[in-house]
Amino acid sequence: MPAPGQEIILLRHCADARFVWNLGQEQRAMYRPGRGPTPGYYEQKRQLTEARAAEPWLAEGSVTVQQEALRDLDQAWKNFFNGTHRRPTWRKATDHNGFRIVGPQASRVEQVNRRWSQVLVPKVGWVRFRRSRPVPDAKSYRVTRDRAGRWHIAFATIPEPVPGPHTGEVVGVDRGVTVSAALSTGELLTCPQLRVTEQARLLRLERKSARQRIRGRKPSGRLKRTYTAIAKLKAREADIRKDWAEKTSTDLARRFDVIRIEDLQICNMTRSASGTLAEPGRNVRQKAGLNRGILASGWGLLARRLEHKAGERVQKVRPAYTSMTCNACGHCETRNRKSQAFLCLACGHRDHADINAAKNIAAGHAVTARGGRGKLSRPVNREPLVAA
C-alpha cells in the first residue's frame, strides 16, 4: 500500500515502462522483408542510453525500470517466435500498468510485523505491502496496478509442485457451464459468482456508462468514476474466480495421482459469432451468453493451475463425444444426453451427464469414427500400453 506521494512516482515508473516498451515495439513492428534485421535488446539498450542523455525528462526516471521494459519486450518477441505466446502489442495507459525490478534491489525486503513487509523501490524508497504468502528469495519482482486502482507486487519464483498421494488414483474432470467442474468421483464443483445485488449493480453501471459515453470526445470525470466502479466489481469477480481455481487445483493435485482433463481449445470456443455485414452470424446473442458463461467458469485458469501444480500428472484427453458416450456399455448416441440428465438408450444406464462424461475422461476414452444417422461408434481406449 504505497503512500500518496509514493503512488505518484510509481505511476511515473509505469508510464516510463510503457513509453519505452512502445518505442521498442515500434522498431520491431516496422520490420519488413528485405530491410534488414530489427534492433535487438542490446542495441535498443544502447539507444536508450543515448536518449536518456539527450532528454532530461527521460533521465529523471529509473534506468532499471526502462531497461527491464526493453528486456520484457525482447522476451515477449522470443516467446512469439517460439510459438508459445501471441504477438506483442502496444501498451495503453488504461492497461498494462506495471514495471519490473531486477538485481540487488529486488532482495531488499524487510518484515514490518506479522502481516506487513516493505520493499525498496528505486526512486521511491521503502513501500509497504501486505503479505498473502511467505516472501520467497527472488531475484526480481513486478509491481502492477489494475483497473480498479489496486497495487500488487509479485516476486518471481518457481514454486515447488504439489506432491501427489502416491495411491495411483485417477480422476477425470469435465468442465461445463452449468457445473464448472464435474469429477468422475461424483463431485460437482461450481465456480462462485458475484452476489445477486452485485450483479444487479454491475448491470446498472454498464447501462449508465452507455448513456454517459459521448462519441468523439474524451471521457468526462463522471464517466471515469463509472468506469472505476465497474472495474472494482470486475476485479472482485476475477478474484473470486481465481480463488476458486487455486483451491480446486490444489485439492485435486493433493488427492489424485493422475488428473485427466479435456483438451479444449477455449479461444476458438469463445470466438465471436457476429460475422460480417455481408455474412452476419446467427444466434449471436445466445453465443455471446455462452461465451460469457464459459469464461466465468474459469476453464482455462483451472487447467493452467493444474498443470503448474501437478505437472506431468495432468493428462489431456480428446473431448470428442465424451458427453454422449455411455460409460457403462460404451454406446454413443446424440439422444443419450438431454440437458444435465444422461440415459443410455442401449442399456438404460442413468447418471448425471457431466459425471458420466468425467468418467469417460478418466478412462481415457476417445471416439474416432461416426456411425450412421446420428449413432456413433464404440469408444476406443487410448490409454498407453504398459509392459507387464
List the pLDDT tens digit at each of the 388 positions of the chain: 678 789 999 999 999 999 999 999 998 877 666 666 788 899 999 999 999 999 999 999 999 999 999 999 999 999 999 988 889 999 988 777 899 999 887 788 888 998 999 999 999 999 999 998 888 888 899 999 988 889 999 998 888 889 999 998 999 999 999 899 999 999 999 999 999 999 999 999 999 998 887 766 777 889 989 999 999 999 999 999 999 999 999 999 999 999 999 988 888 888 887 877 777 777 788 888 888 888 899 999 999 999 999 988 999 998 888 888 888 888 888 888 888 888 888 888 889 989 999 999 998 854 333 333 334 334 444 444 333 3
Distance, CA of 200 to CA of 198 (rounded, Å) = 5
Distance, CA of 93 to CA of 79 (rounded, Å) = 24
| Active-site residue, 174 included | yes
Q: If DSSP codes are grouped into helix, strand and coil, which group holds residue 346?
A: coil
Q: If DSSP codes are grouped into helix, strand and coil, which group holds residue 239?
A: helix
| Active-site residue, 251 included | no
The number of angstroms, rounded, from the C-alpha of 239 to the middle of its chain's C-alpha atoms is 12
Q: Where are the extended beta strands (E) located within the chain?
A: 97-102, 109-111, 116-121, 125-130, 140-145, 151-155, 170-175, 181-183, 188-189, 258-262, 314-317, 332-333, 337-338, 341-343, 350-352, 365-366, 375-376, 380-381
Catalytic option among 74, 174, 333, 351: 174
Specify whether the CB–CB gap between 324 and 310 falls below 8 A.
Answer: no
pTM of the model: 0.81
Number of neighbouring beta carbons within 10 Å of residue 298: 22
- Residue 225, all three cell numbers: 468514476
Catalytic option among 16, 68, 262, 351: 262
Cα atoms found within 13 Å of the Cα of residue 144, Cβ hemisphere only: 11
Specify whether the CB–CB gap between 341 and 285 falls below 8 A.
Answer: no
Catalytic option among 68, 72, 351, 354: 354
